[in-house]
Amino acid sequence: MEDFLVLVLSSVAVIIISQLLKVLLNLTWRPYAITKWYREQGILGPDYKFMKGSNEEIGNLKLGAQKVPMDVNSHDFTPRVLPHYHKWMSLYGRNFLFWFGSMPRICITDMELVKQILSNKSGWYPKSDPHPTLLTILGKGLVLIDGPDWARHRRVVNPAFTIEKLKMMTKKMTGCAKSMIEGWENQIAQEKSKQAEIELHKYFLELAADIIAHTAFGSSYIKGKEVFLSQKELLTLAIATLFNVRIPGFGYLPTPNNRKRWSLDKKVRTTLKQIINERMKSRDGGYGNDLLGLMLETCMAGGKENDKNRMTMDEIIDECKTFFFAGHETTSHLLTWTMFLLSTNQDWQEKLREEVSQECGMEVPDADVLAKLKLVNMVLLEALRIYGPVLQALRKASQDMDLGTIKPLMGTSIAIPIAMLRHDKEIWGPDADKFNPLRFENGLSKAAKHPNALLSFSIGPRACIGQNFAMLEAKAVIAMILQRFSFSISPNYIHEPIDRITLQPKFGLQVILRPLHA
């Protein structure tokens, strides 16, 4: 018996030592071998630092860049938000190598290569491994999964985003917006000056959560809002730990951050499971016309031919998490930055108000009316270009391959600095840092030198499935605000865009609202 125990313990010790050696090699010899491989191709970059990679330098550069607020009329926030890209591009060129911990990343800024990466249908450039807390927030939904699972999920979710289904959701969008606007009107009515300073960003965060809760969960929207609050806490946790050194296996230890992440995830999953079970028990002639109902309808359809569309309870939960977070972050920030641009460009505010007045007067706009608002659409596209929520896209090489003249090694992460590309004068012309919605007058594909330059909802087969939902919601809310208020930027607003996973105003958006009608 003693000999057996000695044998087992010896085997375990060998396994542990071999794993530790593997980790040590990954943290020491491997980075230098990878650096040598890319330098031979002419791809340079900052030196690798043991375990930290480039994380410490990125953090220090960001802290230094954020010390001084921007001028309210300046839109070139990239040196402030992405200072490491600015520094390394000036030192090493448009394509360079840097390190996220021990993970190599190549920055790619050539639009043809970007198109090749994002449009690939062969699975050569899957999503990079996400931060653990981001994985908890989003779940293994459409945003993060790849391969056959992605194709199956896409088939199930796609029916919820057809034009006809979106038209049905418009009434819920405008109903939520009307409640928010009535609250503003009541607040202004209490002011002697008949105007009020409103912090819009806070309201748009609440509004986007309200709309998604209604359109995703219908009558269970109150529980849906509970999911939003938990995801908000998880986002705060992700921001605080994003640049921490990630040690293999550390995510399984019961540290305070891990315990909090597990607790919040359990709360989210339990709430969503309750909503789903209630829907499946109480259905009467269908599962409902909201996102959850349409997913269940597709999943539960009878017949062997529908087996390819089956999703487990965990998969349905993950898709709900993905839709809630991705839809909320996209639309709330798009509304915020659009209102900022209209507050500082009164001429365009008047043009849009006139268009809305011509198309629907004071009536609540429906989907058909919203489709006619060309100027509103142009301004939203320009807001997405200048202040798009997504700052970068990450992919990885699934194997050793050729990418133009670059030969990425298998496992190398590929960073596409989307915000930098949207402000690139070589792509958008000399006014790239100016607010000019007229660049979209002849359509999206002709606005820049490259037809796919906007990238706000990505391109190719992995393009955001909810982009029409987000644009419809933004059009509806902006149109209803223009019907009822004129507005200008408050003297109390401080222009400090900041990277909190998505691009947000650091201190919110303070705007002076004035009712147009008694």
pLDDT of residue 39: 95
pLDDT of residue 13: 55
pLDDT of residue 439: 97
Give the number of residues written for the chain: 518
pLDDT reading at 464 higher than 60: yes
Total Cβ atoms within 10 A of residue 194: 11
Which residues contribute to the annotated binding site for heme? Answer: 464
Q: Any residues with CB less than 8 A from the CB of 77 and at least 6 apart, and which?
A: 70, 387, 419, 497, 503
pLDDT reading at 324 higher than 60: yes
Residue in this structure with the two tokens 């030198």, named with its chain if needed? 449
Average pLDDT for residues 278-302, to the nearest whole number?
Answer: 75
Alpha carbons 428 and 437: distance in angstroms, whole number: 12
Which residues contribute to the annotated binding site? Answer: 464
Provide the percentage of residues in the chain whose pLDDT is more than 70.
89
Q: Report the mean per-residue pLDDT for the chain.
A: 88
- How does residue 9 score in pLDDT terms, banded at 50, 70 and 90? low
pLDDT of residue 20: 52
Average pLDDT for residues 93-108, to the nearest whole number?
Answer: 94
The set of long-range contacts for 67-74, using a CB threshold of 8 Å and a minimum separation of 24, is: 69/494, 69/495, 69/496, 70/495, 70/496, 70/497, 71/495, 72/344, 72/489, 72/493, 72/495, 73/344, 74/433, 74/495
pLDDT of residue 337: 98
pLDDT of residue 352: 98
pLDDT reading at 1 higher than 80: no
The dihedral formed by the CA atoms of 466, 472, 474 and 477, expressed in degrees to the nearest 10: -140
Nearest CA-CA partner of 70 in 368, 496, 417, 377:
496
pLDDT of residue 221: 72
**Span 50-70, pLDDT tens digits:** 888 999 999 999 999 988 889
Provide the percentage of residues in the chain whose pLDDT is more than 90.
56
pLDDT of residue 438: 97
- How does residue 157 score in pLDDT terms, banded at 50, 70 and 90? confident
pLDDT reading at 248 higher than 70: no
Average pLDDT for residues 395-404, to the nearest whole number?
Answer: 93
Alpha carbons 504 and 337: distance in angstroms, whole number: 8
For residue 414 the two structure tokens come to 């590929």
What is the pTM assigned to this prediction?
A: 0.91
**Span 440-462, pLDDT tens digits:** 999 999 999 999 999 999 888 88
- How does residue 177 score in pLDDT terms, banded at 50, 70 and 90? very high
Nearest CA-CA partner of 102 in 286, 247, 255:
247
pLDDT of residue 283: 61
Average pLDDT for residues 224-235, to the nearest whole number?
Answer: 81
pLDDT of residue 83: 96
Least confident of 133-142, 174-183, 352-361, 382-391: 133-142
Q: Phi and psi for 467 in degrees, rounded to 5?
A: -65, -35
- How does residue 214 score in pLDDT terms, banded at 50, 70 and 90? confident
pLDDT reading at 298 higher than 60: yes
Residue in this structure with the two tokens 């012309």, named with its chain if needed? 429
Average pLDDT for residues 363-382, to the nearest whole number?
Answer: 97
Average pLDDT for residues 314-323, to the nearest whole number?
Answer: 88
pLDDT reading at 305 higher than 70: no
**Span 257-268, pLDDT tens digits:** 888 888 888 988
pLDDT of residue 17: 60
| Residue 328, CA atoms < 13 Å, CB-side half-sphere | 29
Residue pair 409/37 in contact (Cβ under 8 Å)? The answer is: yes
Instruction: Return the higher-pLDDT residue of 6 and 401.
Output: 401
